[in-house]
Structure 1
Amino acid sequence: MPNIFSVYTSGSVKARFGIATYFIKGFITVSLLIRLFFVSWEYKDVSLAVGDFLRTMITGAFFDFGTALFIALPGILYLGFMPKRLIGTLLDKVLIYVFFGLTILVLVFTFFAEITFWDEFRSRFNFIAVDYLIYTYEVVKNINESYPLPLLISGVLLITGGVLALFYKKKIFLNTFSQKPGRTERMLVVLPVVVLSSVFILFVKNEDAEWSGNRYNNEISKSGIYSFFAAFRNNRIKYDEFYTTIGEGEAFNTIRSALYSSDNRFLDNNSIRRDVVSDGVPRKPNVVFILMESMSASFMKEFGNTNNITPYLDSIASNSIFFKNLYATGTRTVRGMEAVTLCIPPTPGQSIVKRPDNHKLYTVASIFKNKGYDCNFFYGGDGYFDNMNNYFGGNGFTIYDRGRGSILSDAIETRRFNIDDIEVTFENAWGVCDEDIYNKMLTVADSQYKKGLPFFNFIMTTSNHKPYTYPAGKIDIPSGSGRDGAVKYADYALGKMLSIARARPWFKNTVFVIVADHCASSAGKDEIDVAHYHIPAVIYNLGSEKIQIEKQCSQIDLFPTLFSLLHWEYRSNFFGSNVMSSQFRERALIGTYIKLGLMKQDKVIVLSHQKKYAMYSWEKQDNSLKPQPVENSFLKEAVSWYESADHLFSNRLLKESAVKKQ
């Protein structure tokens, strides 16, 4: 056996594996440039202290090296195991040229995608990127409408061709084909690479890059591809394995205390099942619920915006029940849907909307149906996206969407209707414009009224979403020019719908509930960006009531508050409460895919996987979190909200059958 040192200095070995060596060097170099680009992009918020900057770069280089090894491993195995007699043959050349070219093509596209993903989410690839792999139609169409796709594709092909030409000119390919070291020599290169790759795959976790209190430093320290595969592997998270727990009995006792009210009658232990009673005269209006895409509170004049992009929402906010201090539970539409329909805190991992076994749950629709309402879900895109049709269809809603032949699960029984081409005036990657979906709802509401059916119509809007396109000539901002235009069009469409509805005979007996699904952006330098959870909510046309609610509250409180205003008695399994009650305890529950937060006034505690937690004071002036000593009672309450919520879903205690049992 040849001396190992001579193997690693052997010209033939270096030449054969030169293509892998230069690939790894090139990958690390390009990744470094992208990392520096992100640092310059976020220079106002990223920590540029010498120690922090160096650690960001060094940590990043470490993850880039592991990622490069992971990507190069198949090629290195090929170079090592290819029979010596076949090295340099036509087969060898074709395989190396084709697969090397495809690898470079995919990586160049990925690097571009990292930049566009950062632009949208201020994050490396995460579970959102994993989700988007499933919904290729919407994603590809959105990319095509948001970016100059021909130019992008041309750039990717040009750069790929340039890399291949450079490798050819430097005779890297020639050396790979012309040198024929023995298999033993090649194995002494392959084996260390296999061992190192295995170490990264088995022992290096993506969260190891989260060393800083500054979220931007953490994200920039990561490698996008490594983060993607980490999210792919951890798309479901078991709460009790990864988060701090206190025991189910203590958790439920704590939550029952937090939910205590004189109108609640709790039914059992290890549960929040209760009967809600009322001494008022019940009312039974129609309810139109509008979940507005990405409608941050910061867009409204009420909260300091001077661009006049929500004139209609501003006008009805002063003529309705207006929630001024309400927070979204999460950062994605499915989180908003989960919060308003189940009135539950955000459990870690996927939203319940996307989980298996999420049919026949006890939702707000269960209460409406018990009172004889016709329940419908309206979405301007294909409800297959984010599993919306299966969730809403499996929980008692009739579906109206722009489906392209998607099929509902055999496990549910529901009606589903397509929005026909003749009903569409404008459409982009995410669906029909807001005017069109509102018009569809108005048509269905007219039919419901003629049949004498009280209705609960749930509308999910889409226009305030990249590529920010909408019908021309509606507002004074050109379509496709940016977020402000999309917000103003969404506001315009809302105003137009309500104007048309006023002429309908059912309007006087219809309450409109309007709330955002989440904010337009959610990422900042802290692990949870509190200001980017603040959303507006309005209950409109409920008699002559004009109330501005200053209490800090959550999306999960919206329907319990409405039900109280209507003086309804019902069985509740909700974590939300009536905000109007003098016994309401102010708090907001906010989270990301992994971080789970409880906020009470300016105090915030954040639970993380690996059973970690941290407490902060929120400085509203600069939207920063300042570390504080952990208060045990605060920690106990935070853990209780999330541990009990996870317990209910995991043990099928959110099912209608479990809630309704006597």
Structure 2
Amino acid sequence: MNQIFKSRYSILLGFIAYFILFSFIIRSILFVSAAQKAEFTFLEVIRFYFVGLFFDLGTGLILSAFYALYLLIIPNRFYHKRWNRMICLSSFFIFLIITLFSFFAELTFWQEFESRFNFIAVDYLIYTYEVIHNINESYPLPLLIGGMLLIAIGVTYVFHKLKIFNTSFTSQTRFKTRLVYSSLIIIPAILFSLIVKNSWAEQGNNRYTNELSKSGIYSFFAAFKNNELNYHDFYSLIGNKDAFTLVKKELTESNTTFKNDSLSILRNIKGTDSVYKPNVIMITVESLSADFLAHYGNTQHITPRLDTFANNSVFFSNMYATGTRTVRGMEALTLGIPPTPGSSIVRRMDNEHLFTVGHVFKEKGYVNTFFYGGDGYFDNMNHFFGNNGYNIVDRGRKLLNENYDGTRMLIPDNDVTFENAWGICDGDIFNVVIKDADQKYKKGQLFNNFIMTTSNHRPYTFPNNKIDMASGTREGAVKYTDYAIGQFIDQIKNKPWFKNTVIIIVADHCASSAGKNEIDISKYQIPCMILNLKNTEKMNISKMTSQIDLFPTLWSLLGWDYTSEFYGKNVLDKKYESRVFLGTYQKLVYMKGDSLVILSPQRKVDTYLYNKAKNEQKPFVLPKAIINQGIANYQTAFDLFKDGKLRY
């Protein structure tokens, strides 16, 4: 076996050794970071290092497989040529840079999501403009690139001193020997890529241990390959008719009449005799966790305006987001649907002309507009909103050749005072909204606005001299967003259209979804409030509610009749029973009271009791009825979208 180290394969073996060593270092750094937030037993540490070694070795073999094939087929008389040395050394150095960049990216990704690469990393690879600028504004990019180059040069120098290059380029390795050596690399690499699943690392209840067991690069390609999951192929099922029966029973309210279709949730909602039609402005705040507000115990005083608004509004103090990304929040707030497995519907194919919140408003005579301070091409937002009854106002660099149901307007440079990689500051987008509202008021148009903010997103930069905190920190960004919302409401109070305008403030998701549990319920709690609602006293709705319940509750307060195909409910109805839907890309959560059901691929069902006060979830055998209710909601939601039944 020692002969392989003295053959032309010495560079390949050296690269695998380098990859395993640096993977060990990265895993150790991530372990130190995770140890500050979670406890690890000795056996868990041993497990994630040994399982991690297995994944690192497999990934190293995959990365080396093409070079092993090259070493097999190139004859000795060519392998010793100068041009071959240049090809091999250049390829070696390029692979060093690629893997070093991957290691750095793992560290930054963990800092943001406390996870190995997943679907989010795949998404970010597509949107290079925003990501590159975000990295450039968040980190000293020239120093980082220089550092990676120095490390790559250092590794190359070590290989030179160990005479690895010289050994490889002077060896006389016969074809039969090469066939054996290459087979030892290529065959295991193929088997590893075809057989080994990333989920093999997820064997315990400690989420950090599972993530540390993985290899970043392998996790990335596993996420790329599994971007969408078919519910029927991977999750627990019940009969279709039974599923819809259970969902209809859960959705039945005192004013509900279902259509005569056993495989549908289409229904009529009866309003009151007193109908109110105000303008609606929904401010969807980027990454606004509930625990940023003083109402939830925060003592940093970073949301003084939001805390005041919460105390003088219809305040949903126990609301939960459906997911961990902006597009999940958009999905919940427009489609009123549980998070189906894979990417958000906002980002999927065939997501046009769906039954949305905007459709209900349009039926009532409203003009719907989506406002975004960045480029709405990102995350397919423009396509989704533009083909589901909304006009678009965004900061795109150019008008794309895509036709929308509505119109698209670019935010001009003279309306921008501050901009970073993700878009214009919140103050600027609010000024754009005010101008638009003034124009619509003059035309006598009712408007429903969906505003997506960006300032509370890394790199957390915002205009100077607005607040007493430094730009570039999460807390500063939260306080600036709070300031901008306060200024916006102060400005519009003097507008003639304000007295007939309802303001909604709600988060898209929390600032962080990672915690000690696989699904950390506390990391999904968000604030939500409705301001300036005429003839409605301020109230604190402490019932557990979901993002998808927001508009059905608002429409009830407005007294509206409407047709619904939403999973959201009026939380003020006497028949309302608290339940929420949470999800990652693969884990689907149904929680009713303290009963927690988690659905996973391979038709896995885990059940727990959730103690909110202690933020603990303990395994517990729940009644079959609750499990089936969770399955029914996700199964029917998946079917309705895939079968095209969510179209109006």
- The TM-score with structure 2 as length reference comes to 0.98
1:490 corresponds to which residue? Answer: 481
- Distance in 2, Cα, partners of 1:540 & 1:24: 60
Aligned pair 1:311/2:304, yes or no?
yes
Give the equivalent residue in structure 1 for 2:180.
Answer: 188
Alignment-derived partner of residue 529 in structure 2: 538
Give the drift of 1:631. 2.4
Matched-pair contact (CA < 8 Å) for 1:530–1:623: yes
Stretch of structure 1 that moved more, 413-422 or 356-365: 413-422
1:276 and 2:269 equivalent? yes
Q: Deviations over 1:77-102 (max 9, x none)?
A: 11121122101201210110111000
- Matching residue of 1:432: 424
SS of residue in 2 equivalent to 1:241 = helix
Deviations 1:157-194 (A, max 9, x none): 11111111111121111111111211111011111212
Letter in structure 2 aligned against 1:394 = N
User: Contact 1:215–1:525 (CA<8 Å) still a contact in 2?
Assistant: yes
Task: Give me the whole-angstrom Cα distance separating, in 2, the residues matched to 1:626 and 1:570.
Answer: 41
**1:336 aligned partner:** 329
1:285 match: 278
Match of 1:232 among 224, 227, 232: 224
User: Do structure 1's residue 454 and structure 2's residue 454 form an aligned pair?
Assistant: no
Could you tell me how far apart the structure 2 residues matched to 1:42 and 1:548 are?
36
CA distance in 2, matches of 1:280, 1:575: 25
Q: Which of 465, 480, 501 is 2:492 aligned to?
A: 501
Deviations 1:294-325 (A, max 9, x none): 01110001000011101001001111100011
1:357 aligns with 2:328: no
Is residue 198 of structure 1 aligned with residue 174 of structure 2? no
Structure 2 residue 435 is the aligned partner of structure 1 residue 443 = yes
Contact 1:47 1:53 in 2 (8 A): no
Written as runs of structure 1 = structure 2, the 5 A alignment for 1:12-91 is 14-91=6-83
Q: Give the equivalent residue in structure 2 for 1:117.
A: 109
Distance 2:72 2:571 in 1: 67
Secondary structure of the 1:245 match is coil
Q: Is 1:478–2:463 an aligned residue pair?
A: no
CA contact (8 A) 1:39 1:46 kept: no
> Of the candidates 523, 541, 552, which is equivalent to residue 544 of structure 2?
552
Structure 1 residue 645: Cα displacement = 0.3
Shift of 1:14: 3.0
Matched residue type, 1:273: L
2:125 is matched with 133
Question: How many Å separate the matches in 2 of 1:464 and 1:281?
Answer: 39
Preserved CA contact (<8 Å) 1:46 1:217: no
TM alignment of 1:133-152, pairs within 5 A: 133-152=125-144
Residue aligning to 2:238: 246
TM alignment of 1:522-601, pairs within 5 A: 522-543=513-534, 544-601=536-593
Contact map agreement 1:146 1:467 (CA 8 A) in 2: yes
1:637 matched to 2:629? The reply is yes
More deviation, 67-76/400-409: 400-409
* 1:517 and 2:499 correspond: no
Contact 2:358–2:388, Cα closer than 8 Å, also in 1: yes
Taking the aligned partners of 2:553 and 2:155, their CA distance within structure 1 comes to: 61
The 3-state SS of whatever aligns with 2:581 is: strand
Alpha-carbon distance in 2 for matches of 1:249, 1:344: 19
Partner-residue secondary structure (3-state), 1:399? strand
Of residues 31-40 and 235-244 in structure 1, the stretch that sits farther from structure 2 once superposed is: 31-40
Give the 3 Å change call, closer, same or farther, for CA 9–485 of structure 1 in structure 2.
closer
Corresponding pairs, count: 646
Q: After alignment, is 26-35 or 249-258 more displaced?
A: 26-35
**Alpha-carbon RMSD:** 1.1
Moved more, 33-42 or 58-67: 33-42
Paired residue secondary structure (1:330): coil
Question: Does the 8 Å contact 2:492/2:498 carry over to 1?
Answer: yes
Tell whether 2:411 aligns with 1:419: yes
Q: Displacement of 1:280 after TM fit? A: 3.0
CA contact (8 A) 1:365 1:375 kept: yes
Question: How far has the Cα of 1:333 moved from its partner?
Answer: 0.2
Q: Which residue of 2 aligns with 1:401?
A: 394
Is the 8 Å Cα contact of residues 384 and 406 (structure 1) preserved in structure 2?
Answer: no
Matched with 1:659 is none
TM-score under structure 1 normalisation? 0.96
Matched, 1:469 2:461: yes
Task: Determine what percentage of the aligned residue pairs are the same residue.
Answer: 50
Q: Which moved more, 1:292-301 or 1:601-610?
A: 601-610
Moved more, 49-58 or 460-469: 49-58
Q: Does 1:375 align with 2:372?
A: no
Q: In structure 2, how many angstroms separate the alpha carbons of the residues matched to 1:605 and 1:409?
A: 41
Q: Partner letter of residue 193 of structure 2?
A: I
- Between stretches 71-80 and 37-46, larger displacement belongs to 37-46
* SS of equivalent to 1:375: strand
**Cα offset for 1:526?**
1.1
How far did 1:47 drift?
Answer: 4.5
Alignment match, 1:4: none
Please tell me whether the aligned partners of residues 19 and 173 of structure 1 are also in contact (alpha carbons under 8 angstroms): yes
Q: For residue 399 of structure 1, what is the amino acid of its counterpart?
A: I
Report the Cα offset of residue 408 of structure 1.
Answer: 5.4
What amino acid sits opposite 1:90 in the alignment?
Answer: R
Alpha-carbon shift at residue 260 of structure 1 (Å): 0.9
The one-letter amino acid of 1:562's match is: L
Which residue number corresponds to residue 164 of structure 2? 172
The one-letter code of the counterpart of 1:498 is I
User: Using a 3 Å threshold, how does the CA distance of structure 1 residues 618 and 44 change in structure 2: closer, same or farther?
Assistant: farther
Per-residue Cα deviation, 1:557-578 (whole angstroms, up to 9, x for no partner): 0000011111110110000000
The answer (yes or no) to whether the contact 2:335–2:566 under 8 Å persists in 1 is: yes
State the 1:44 CA deviation. 4.1
Q: SS of the counterpart of 1:42? A: helix
Distance of 1:102 and 1:428 partners within structure 2: 31
SS at match of 1:77: helix
Residue 638 of structure 2 is aligned to residue 654 of structure 1: no
Whole-angstrom distance in 2 between the partners of 1:408 and 1:638? 42
C-alpha displacement of 1:630: 3.5
1:15/1:172 contact within 8 Å kept:
no
The separation in 2 between residues aligned to 1:277 and 1:456, in whole angstroms, is: 21
- Alignment partner for residue 391 of structure 1, among 384, 395, 419? 384
1:436-471: per-residue Cα shift (whole Å, max 9, x none)? 000000000000000000000110000001001000
Q: In the alignment, does 2:604 pair up with 1:612?
A: yes
